[in-house]
A and B are shown apart, each in its own frame.
Chain A
Amino acid sequence: MKANYQPKPPLLVNAFMAFYIMHDLQVGVGINGFQRYIYMYAKHDSWVSVILVGLLVHLIVFLILKTLQLYGSTDIFGVHDDVFGKIIGKVFNAIFIVYCLYATLITLINYIEIVQSWIFPETPIWLFSLSLFLLMIYGITGGIRVIIGICFFNVIISLWVLFLLLFPLKYADFSQLLPVLDTNPLGIIKGTYRMTSTVLGFELFFVLYPHFKEKSKVQLYSHLGILISTIVYVAIMVISIAYFSPGQLVSNIWATLTMFRISKIPFIERFEYVTIAYWMIIILPNLMFYMWSAIRGMERSFKVVEKKSLLIFSILLFVVSLFFKTRLEISRLNQLFVPIGFYLAFCYPILLFFLAFIKRKWKSNKEQAL
């Protein structure tokens, strides 16, 4: 496998799409109830944790893109191959693919849990799972442009959801944010650690990067995307702290949805029923990006045709998704994801950057010596 990978022109998109993709990847099913875990540790200073995570993501994405720029146009599979060699590189690629599948599963199961506990408690999991896989397969077979297309549409047409955040303001008491920075720093850092799993998604730029037309501008637009999603997260966090009292926030699994439920307009009230159904289009691009990254990895690294691995992975994940029925099982699955996501998406890119940097330096020195 060649490290450099240059997709055909029809598969390329403009660099400014990086903004939409980044924003969309970071905002997913997690936004419905991330407050609780952070609040447990960071209390009313949770918004500081959210900002810290935002800064951290800026740093990591900077390194991710720098790593890829060392090679001109490549993805993580090419980098692995170059840095670790053929065989170990394949092992790392396999780990990344499994991680992508895990992330797909997490998103899927958490969304299904929301739908089941809020709207249709009696409807079996396989129905929701099957319907989402149908959409995924239909979208992914359309190619990367279709996936990016639905991601772009989603960002544009989902703007209305932000207006729902105005309703809780009526009941908000911003003095609950005071005194600022009262929690001990350890608590804030613990909260930051818990927050990392919510903002995941940016690591897929490892795979998406070759598909941007003007590579030099990707850095700028992706950081803009991170900025916007961080602002969204901070806004939601601040409003939740003001809207709920501490006890409520800690016990509420889906605080954002609970805030939506007080919004009403003359012909609809209880907006959470609308937003839960609507969330399908918000998580759909996330599911498709993760799944697509996995099948890209299969093709790049193991030479398996995309359609074949798509079918195999879909069936596999569909069957696995049927086993997660209770809140406890899902919670355990989520808990397990926190360290995995943290080490793979936050720590590993730093390591990979230095390895790749040294490797390139070494290689160019050797070439010069010759």
Chain B
Amino acid sequence: MRQYKKWLLVFIILLLTGCAKPKTLEKIGLVTTKGYDLEKDGKIKGSLVILTVDPNAKQKTTIITTKALTARGNRIHSDVMSSKKLLSGQLRVVLFSEAIAKHGIKPFTDTFVRDPSISDLIYMGIVDGQTEDLLGIVNNQIPDVGQHIYKEIDHNVRWSLIPSSTLHETLQGNYAVGKDPVLPILKKTKNRVRISGVALLKDNKLVGKLNFYQSYYVRTLQSPLKSGAFEIPISGESLGLTGDHLPHKQLAVALDTVLSNPKIELINKENLEFNLNLKINARIQEINADIDLKSPKTIQLLEREIANQMKKDIRKIVAYCQSVQSDPFGLGETYRSSVRHANLNRKKWHKIYPKAKVNVNVKFTIAKTGIVE
């Protein structure tokens, strides 16, 4: 037995000789954001935002921009331009320019998912304009543009203002039979980052864009919501508001604490027909006109007015999505999961989807009118 223990000791010492390769925190450059642009010669221009950890440094980030043929190639080129080994274990956001997205983002998502150090919860986004410009934003309010963009997307997703666009969800949408992912569109406006809408994808390629107002409907129709805020323009005619009663040109209602519950029903298998039912329950925050909210009749009218407006908006969005053959609502999933032996695949779905008839029903209820009547 003694002999055994002696050998154990020898082996443990032997084991300690074979250290793993260290990736010490302060010796590596942490890439927090990546952005990809398409160059005219077909090369990919990659911009990496690297976190600077020196507490005394004024500038919290370093940006390295390189040109290469592949996304990986950009990393290799960036390494030879950096004082530290660049690693993407702390990557949070990946941005693509529209030009890249139109060519397809599959090669990029593929490398990300292959790399065990990259999280599945990184946000993907499309940039209206050049990503290099967007990532170059530096001002007193944004010391670290990488973190800024991440937090901006993150809190808007959390409060349900835009659809979530993590790597996992993008991939899930891309691989699913009857669903397509959406990505937020970011835009540089007045030296700030602004989320200007969502991009519709089909087979990893950018095919259409919706503005910010429309993106909220996409989010609402994807899954039940428990929060969110919303501003909706309505026509004042049915409320009897005309001319002088209107303080502005357009009557609008601001809603918050939206509780919504979408339901997609397949009502005809042969001649594709869907019912898109949406139940919304919200609190009125503001109306830019003098309306008596005490009277139940007014409330009813208002509810109907808002529902009608929403119906109109949703119809428009669905029609647009059908025209670009992208299905962000998951109508195809409903079809697949309710029809036995459908043998649906992506190609087939994209073919029949534009022909589908979609009936939109909206039921809107004003739950509260704030803490005063």
Question: Do A and B come into direct contact in the complex, CB within 8 Å?
Answer: yes
Please tell me the number of chain A residues within 8 Å of chain B, measured between CB atoms: 34
CB pair B173–A262 under 8 Å, yes or no, is: no
Q: Chain A contacts of B176 at CB under 8 A?
A: 176, 245-247
B18 at the interface (CB under 8 A from A): yes
Main secondary structure, interface of A, reads helix
CB pair B20–A120 under 8 Å, yes or no, is: yes
* Most chain B C-beta atoms within 10 Å of own C-beta, residue among A122, A176, A243, A245: A245
The 0/1 profile, CB within 8 Å of B marked 1, for residues 252-277 of chain A is 00000010011000000110100000
CB pair A179–B338 under 8 Å, yes or no, is: yes
A153 at the interface (CB under 8 A from B): no
Bound together, the chains give a CA A272 to CA B118 distance in angstroms of 12
B172 at the interface (CB under 8 A from A): yes
B341 at the interface (CB under 8 A from A): yes
CB pair B20–A122 under 8 Å, yes or no, is: yes
Q: Chain A contacts of B1 at CB under 8 A?
A: 141
Also in contact, A179 and B340, with CB within 8 A (given A120-B21, A261-B119, A262-B168): yes
CB pair B20–A123 under 8 Å, yes or no, is: yes
B11 at the interface (CB under 8 A from A): yes
Please tell me the number of chain B residues within 8 Å of chain A, measured between CB atoms: 32
* Min CB–CB distance A262 → chain B (angstroms): 5
Q: Chain A contacts of B175 at CB under 8 A?
A: 244-248
Bound together, the chains give a CA A179 to CA B335 distance in angstroms of 10
Q: Chain A contacts of B8 at CB under 8 A?
A: 134, 137-138
CB pair B15–A262 under 8 Å, yes or no, is: no
Q: Chain A contacts of B172 at CB under 8 A?
A: 171, 243-245, 248
Q: Chain B contacts of A131 at CB under 8 A?
A: 15
Mark out the residues of chain A between 225 and 256 whose CB falls within 8 Å of any chain B CB in the assembled complex: 243-248
Mark out the residues of chain B between 107 and 166 whose CB falls within 8 Å of any chain A CB in the assembled complex: 116, 119-121, 166
Q: Which residue of A lies closest to B177 (CB)?
A: A246
Also in contact, A122 and B337, with CB within 8 A (given A261-B119, A270-B119): no
Q: Chain B contacts of A124 at CB under 8 A?
A: 18
A159 at the interface (CB under 8 A from B): no
* Min CB–CB distance A140 → chain B (angstroms): 11
**Besides the known contacts A130-B11, A178-B337, A262-B168, 10 further A-B residue pairs in the complex with CB atoms under 8 A apart:** A117-B116, A120-B20, A123-B18, A175-B333, A179-B339, A245-B174, A245-B175, A245-B176, A248-B172, A262-B119
Q: Which 7 A-B pairs have the closest CB atoms?
A: A247-B175, A178-B337, A245-B176, A245-B175, A127-B18, A245-B172, A118-B116
